[in-house]
A and B are shown apart, each in its own frame.
Chain A
């Protein structure tokens, strides 16, 4: 079995394209391969038996029927090949995901109108998606397994079809020259977000804080424990203490302050903190060694910038 698999891999290695190519890529006869399916081989054996029998008995109706079936089968082979021929693979786009999460890979194809192309399949290894073109365009979404952070180059895509009779399968390889970002996998568990070391101007008042900021007049709804009784007695009106806490948006996620973690664990922790800060709608800044700080900011673009920087950090050592 392994020998068969090895042989298969080697044969596939000869198939075009042999190196990544710039999209759009047009499928033409030089890169469309076609082989009978197992069922096709069965039909071929069956028709051969019929033809030999009919020729032997000189039974012309049987021979004619057999030849009609041969003709139709051959026509279906051409038909199968033409399902792929002229197909334009315009773009391949992978959505960034954390390592370990399958990446959705969108394959966008177009073709000149005029030929019906339905029931095609796009596949990578185990992942397979149907592809039908409507109004000369179509899209299939595959899932690509991811294992580690950084750039991921897609493997060769296989676009195949066995329509209209299932007797032969035509396929073509597309090897897009593209790279898709894989974010670092966030750690599970671990410490909560650190306190910010930001400046006080950005701090927000918070009754749960520790530093007394100022006193103000009591308003309905203020908790009794926040009332400054001494000051109230002095002023003859209720005043309330207000505290502040520097928890602000201006959270700094600093590589240097992570202490004695190993390289990858630091990256995974920072990745988790970025996600968590984003979830809590906090503004944060990412400080990585040897590069300017990113932010402070928040939102999808900022998150992408931070996770991208983390994903692309060089390996340890």
Chain B
């Protein structure tokens, strides 16, 4: 096709490069540091080379090799989702080096659309969304420019604003259809294929905990989940969001027991009250879940291990939503079997001799487990302090913490307390999860941040089963239950306190966005349909409803498109509207008739219609006038109606 190899003009080149750059930007922002700069530089070189004329093939190949080599080296030769996205970014950056024809530009733009798509696999934050949307709009605008060139319209004949306006109009016209498809199109309840893993993971709750490795997590104030309660709400002190339970200890790290993973959940006797709530969980790239202690029943897709370590059947790569009921436990595994007991008492030999000596001493003084727990808590409350500034642990980490530093954060407290209990012969384990949360004033929900991550202990007491003991809370309750104080620091409540409502409002908007956009899935779709009075709609019914809405949306599109392409000049538009009004009373202006002759003919037909002649003179003058004309003319033209027959 001769038209396809039409050489690209400079306006088309500028638009294409701009659109590709804006599409690439959000993706670059998601990549680890040296890569974005390298890719941006490669993109700049490629664009410059293309604008200077033909690029030699070897130079292109060299550039491509350099970029891809750097990306693979950065990923440590491990190919993950982020590596794939970086490769895409690299290819997109080098693509402009062959940008000569309209066809090249179109393939560049089509390719550029994949960049926002890849970005959303990595991040779904507002900035990524805004940039992705802007990139897509610019791609459409660039396509409009290419089409103009193809239609032999010079670049100067269409203003940039008008071009953007056309594209915005097209998107707005297509919006109802897009939204109908988004909300009504049948969703896949299970994916056809899995999403590739990241080559580097973000810190978060996991099946393992070593002292000190949560520092990044505790400094991260990004939301971990949002929770809305139906009915009664627990107090912040009751808000222990149970995550992985860690039973095995090797002297340094706590890990979840493989033995317990496949056993059925232990029996729990629940007390009152019962809390009903829904968790909107941010993606974690893992399949670990949390629930308020202790969950009554597990929803579909959620599994509980023996010690109530909750997992999802699928990895949480996107926002998920879980409806749960919980109630405080009265008795949790009141009958501890012998293997379980041994598991909960096991300690590596030759670690922490001083702790062992202390525990043996306490045990010798009393046989009451509860008394030992209280004594340990009293000791901790009296002599320990909370700090994030901790030294690296040595071989006897618990000894060092208990007898030397006497300061640390939840990891240290729970770990040391659990070891102490085990040395004293009390079955104990570490539970990780989140505590507390902040209530959003606008949205009636609680937000739990990643910095709310917490570790506490559980000890098994005769007759009561597993009982939660939080040694950190004994030292610094305010650091645990109340994220707010943490964020505001001490005292400086003035400025930050004033900003709080705005931050709350922002998070509330985010929550709504999560609800209807990010977290929308097959289950949510059913809920929405139920609310509109379509319970139990199957796929066929959904397709029917979708088709109906799609047809309505298409009709709406047709009407809007037919209407929106109207005359730009308001004066001319008013003049044409005036002409139509006269056509309705049978005094249409003939095609060949000059405006003035028509006005005179109208006057002859209806002598009362004197104003038209003056208006016509004004209109003619305005059309030929070099300077802007009388501003009242437009209003008069719009207001004027043909004089009625009854006026005679």
Where the two chains meet, the residues of A that have a C-beta atom closer than 8 Å to any C-beta of B are 38-39, 42-43, 46, 50, 52-76, 78-79, 82, 110, 113-116, 118-121, 130, 132, 161-167
Contacts and interface: CB of A to CB of B under 8 A. Distances in A.
B177 interface: yes
A9 to B, nearest CB: 18
A163 B182 contact: no
A60 B177 contact: no
B528 to A, nearest CB: 14
Contacts of B566: 114-116
19 contacts: A39-B106, A54-B117, A57-B121, A57-B318, A58-B188, A65-B120, A67-B181, A71-B171, A73-B174, A74-B174, A116-B567, A116-B568, A118-B153, A119-B151, A130-B152, A161-B151, A163-B144, A164-B144, A164-B170
Nearest to A73: B174
B199 interface: no
Contacts of B33: none
Contacts of B576: 113-114
Contacts of A121: 151-152
B557 interface: yes
Contact of A162 (B117, B124, B151, B318): B151
Contacts of B317: 57
B274 to A, nearest CB: 31
A139 B354 CA distance: 100
B318 A56 contact: no
Contact of B132 (A61, A70, A116): A61
A224 to B, nearest CB: 67
Interface in B123-161: 124, 128-129, 132-133, 136, 140, 143-144, 146-148, 150-153, 157
B561 A75 contact: yes
B119 to A, nearest CB: 9
Nearest to B177: A71
Interface stretch (B202-210, B370-378, B513-521, B613-621): B513-521
Q: Which 6 A-B residue pairings sit nearest by Cβ, starting from the closest?
A: A71-B174, A119-B151, A166-B147, A67-B178, A71-B178, A75-B173
B153 A119 contact: yes
Given A72-B171, A116-B565, 16 more contacts: A55-B185, A56-B193, A58-B521, A59-B124, A62-B116, A68-B136, A68-B175, A75-B171, A75-B557, A78-B562, A82-B565, A114-B565, A116-B568, A119-B147, A130-B152, A163-B151
Nearest to A113: B576
A60 B175 contact: no
A62 B148 CA distance: 29
B167 interface: yes
A165 B171 CA distance: 12
Interface centre among B174, B179, B558 (most CB of A within 10 A): B174
Contacts of A165: 140, 143-144, 147, 170
Interface of B: 1, 4, 103, 106-107, 110, 113-114, 116-117, 120-121, 124, 128-129, 132-133, 136, 140, 143-144, 146-148, 150-153, 157, 166-167, 169-171, 173-179, 181-182, 185, 187-188, 191-193, 195, 317-318, 517-521, 554, 557-558, 560-562, 565-568, 572-573, 576, 591
Given A61-B129, A74-B557, A79 B518 contact: no
B454 to A, nearest CB: 30
A163 to B, nearest CB: 5
Contacts of A55: 185, 187-188
Nearest to A166: B147
A163 B188 contact: no
Given A57-B121, A115-B565, A120-B151, A65 B132 contact: yes
A75 B169 CA distance: 9
Given A61-B518, A114-B567, A164-B166, A50 B117 contact: yes
Contacts of B573: 114
A71 B175 contact: yes
Contacts of B520: 60
A162 B148 CA distance: 9
Nearest to A160: B151
A70 B181 contact: yes
A33 B194 CA distance: 42
A72 B177 CA distance: 9
Nearest to B576: A113
Contacts of A79: 170, 561, 565
Contact of A58 (B1, B174, B177, B191): B191
B178 A64 contact: yes
A269 B108 CA distance: 60
Given A61-B517, A72-B167, A121-B151, A38 B132 contact: no
Contacts of B193: 56
A74 B553 CA distance: 11
A78 B561 CA distance: 7
Nearest to A120: B151
B79 to A, nearest CB: 18
A25 B143 CA distance: 32
Given A55-B188, A58-B187, A67-B181, A75 B174 contact: yes
Contacts of A76: 170
Contacts of B181: 67, 70
B85 to A, nearest CB: 12
Contacts of A52: 192
A166 B561 contact: no
Contacts of B170: 72, 75-76, 79, 164-165
B567 A113 contact: yes
A164 B162 CA distance: 12
Contact of B136 (A60, A69, A75, A164): A69
A230 to B, nearest CB: 73
B167 A69 contact: no
Nearest to A137: B591
B402 to A, nearest CB: 47
Contacts of A82: 561-562, 565
A72 B567 CA distance: 22
Contacts of A115: 565-567
B568 A62 contact: no
B558 A78 contact: yes
Contacts of A119: 147-148, 151-153
Interface centre among B4, B146, B519, B567 (most CB of A within 10 A): B567
Contacts of B148: 119, 163
B574 to A, nearest CB: 12
Contact of B182 (A67, A69, A113, A120): A67
Contacts of A164: 144, 147, 166, 170
Nearest to A112: B576
A307 to B, nearest CB: 32
Given A61-B124, A61-B517, A67-B182, A56 B188 contact: yes
B153 A68 contact: no
Given A113-B567, A116-B567, A58 B318 contact: yes
Contacts of A161: 151
Contacts of B182: 60, 63-64, 67
B554 to A, nearest CB: 7
Nearest to B567: A114
Contacts of A67: 177-179, 181-182
A66 B381 CA distance: 57
A165 B121 CA distance: 28
Nearest to A64: B182
Contacts of B557: 71, 74-75, 78
A64 B191 contact: no
A74 B566 CA distance: 19
Contact of A59 (B106, B136, B318, B560): B318
Contacts of B136: 65, 68-69
A38 B521 contact: no
Contacts of B175: 68, 71
Contacts of B4: 38
A234 B133 CA distance: 111
Contacts of A78: 173, 557-558, 561-562
A62 B117 contact: yes
A66 B567 contact: no
